[in-house]
Chains A and B, each alone.
Chain A
Amino acid sequence: MSYIFKLDKVKYKNILNIDNLHIKEGIITCLLGESGSGKTTLLRLLNDLISPTEGSILYKNKNIVDMNPVELRRKVLMLGQTPITFEGTIRENFNMALEFSEKEKAEDDILQKYLDISNLNKSLDHNAKEMSGGERQRLALARVLLLDGEVLLLDEPSSALDEDTEKFVIESVVKYAKDNNKSVIMVTHSSLIAKEYGDEIIRMNKGGTIDE
């Protein structure tokens, strides 16, 4: 099995201090740890939204500083912890994401498929600003899945969902990832979810260190 990410002596300010971390390709990796332990910071480093102050991050054995950041982000897509939707309808939100990644607009039935995966029962013409937090979170999830990257960095993708919806959504995302051979790195607050769906679990400690 090959590794999608290798981190070597990575430090980020005094927030993160990871001596050595290998993340495998094609599986679900769950990140657990109390709030403030640096989970979001780690995902942001992998998405190249911030750069480590020390150490190196390899993506498929290539140091990400030698890669074009925009091209990297089109392969390693991230869903942020606070889901942000853009002005306009659900369809326009999808199309904007496709435009960001310089992909062709998609037909409605394809968009609908992604709404189904994230269990969002809304018309494509629905105004994205007139949705609840949980609905927006699922739209943001569907939007990032649509872009068809190689890796999905999901930062607490179900934090605004009730227990039943959460279970359904995570299950269907995991199934989608397995069927399409995606690597998923998912932050979750729930060790139950991590145990049930994570092929690997990474625990982060308060000082931004990890034990596998």
Chain B
Amino acid sequence: MAQSHRTFIRFLLNDRPVELSGFAPDLSLLDWLRINQRLTGTKEGCAEGDCGACTVLVGRLDNGILTYETINACIRFVGSLDATHVVTIEHLNRPDGALSAVQQAMVDNHGSQCGFCTPGIVASLHGLWLSDPEPTEADIERALQGNLCRCTGYEPIVKAAVAAAKTIPSEDNDRLVAGYATTIATLTDFADGARVTIDSERGTTFLPADVDDLADIYDANPDATIVAGSTDVGLWVTKHMREIAPVIFIGHLAGLQQISFDETGVTLGAGVSYTAARGALIAAFPQMAEIWDRIGGEQVRNMGTVGGNIANGSPIGDTPPPLIALDASVTLRKGKARRTLPLEAFFIEYGKQDRQQGEFVESIAIPALDEDAFFAVYKISKRRDEDISALCAAFHVTTDAQGLVVSARLAFGGMAGTPKRAPTAEAALIGQPWSWDTIQIARAALAEDFQPLSDWRASADYRMLSAQNLMIRFFLETCGAPVRIERHPALAEA
């Protein structure tokens, strides 16, 4: 089928359509808003996705439904915004110009001091207000995981979120609700399924029409950088000033966002965001809740993808350890050719994965757990939320009728140059009774498997000791002992 082709992107910015061409593939939304559009309400606090001062809402159509999500404008590229609705603080007041419910509650509760974090906080709370009519304290904290405030201590901000929830979003009090129907019509119109190519002095931007088109474009431009959620690539640009052109954006491809979930397991398209994956994944593997809501902050989870977390090959990504422990497989595609390999085999060594030039990650398949299997995932970080793991551990053990260990998959992140299993510790478990004594032996054996590094996140000693101790936690939990600190105990099971 002959494809239609565009050389510009178009999206809604607050209340007006924008058409852009000729821009650089690494132009950030934040710079474009602040420098080109002089919309200075959105702030830059870090330019790396960690502070939330740059938070804006992005609305997009998913099967005809319009949803708004918070994102970090500092690491989001303008090229990825085709057929979306970008909403900045300047558009978050009421249609009559008065303060929104969130803004008013922030004023009433003294939720701002220096005010620099405030537009981002208001945007995050606005996103929560639109999507969750009865947020619990845990929901509010989760919505604020990606927002730093150095002045207030957060107490008044949380109170403001509670207070705002007393007002129900409506056409009268919210511009987004008021514009819902027209926005859907406009975005439907914008999403014409065309391939988009933008040339600029700084290189080319591609927006493939669909997954097959992606395969073609990548095959023809194997040196291109694939950008999904840009939660890694964004920092290559803002922090390392790396040249990334040509760029192929894939975040808009519905074909990479399929989620299938049945009794055999879960399959995620490579472009599924953490937020989108959450429901199915946690339904199938409730233990994943422990780490899922601790990956980045809400903005990062709204953008970042599981595919990107795997493709980047990082030794400290949070999804590989549990996925390896669950024996997930990854499907790669180059042109029309596909191959599937165990995820474990994908990580060859630090900085090296089993991925050919022009080959991309298409999907990840995770087999269902046996009903009586023991499985858990733990993340250790200096700060509980929105922190990179010092250590991530996933344990998956099955036992037979006699209580002897039949299989053991112990996978760790942060302990070596790649996410890796612990063969010696696993061997110490196999065939042994699932008991305190066995765990002690396996725990000691772990020292044979890894020589972790010392860095600013943790010392080698701490990494090893806490990895070993997590095996004890795992054992105790399989015995039903409550051994963890839970901030919101009743809500831990999402």
Chains A and B come from one and the same complex: no
B interface, CB within 8 angstroms of A: none
